[in-house]
Amino acid sequence: MGEIGESVEAVKEKVNGKAVASLVLGILSLIIPYVGLITGIIGIVLANLALKEIKVSSEGGRGLAVGGLTCSIIATVLYGILVIMLIAALGWVAIFEV
């Protein structure tokens, strides 16, 4: 056991900045209309880079990167489906225009 006056310092991990940015972009891609596809793609790229950096270094933020990757993928898929439906609807109108 340590002495009475001994202090214990908490060990702080450095959090990866790309992981934080990927989470922010992932959440924004779900919330902001029209630019969600672009921010989602950027969030996916940043999350992948963050996961690679975290694996090599001793930085923290793996959970943030995974959350950012998840939000970004969901938003990108949703906006991708929306764009495909819009193109199909425009094509449908062009074919059956009276």
| Residue 45 or 13, more confident | 45
**Total-model pTM:** 0.81
Amino acid at residue number 92: W
**Distance between CA atoms of 53 and 50, rounded to whole angstroms?**
5
Q: Which two tokens stand for residue 67?
A: 């959350």
Please state the φ and ψ torsions of residue 41, each to the nearest 5 degrees: -65, -45
pLDDT tens digit sequence for 8-28 = 555 577 999 999 999 999 999
Measured CA distances, 53 to 9, 19, 40, 47, 74 (Å): 26, 10, 20, 10, 23
Q: Distance between CA atoms of 98 and 93, rounded to whole angstroms? A: 9
- What is the per-residue pLDDT across 46-97, written as a single tens digit (0 to 9) for each? 999 999 999 999 899 999 999 999 999 999 999 999 999 999 999 998 888 7
Q: What is the pLDDT of residue 57?
A: 92
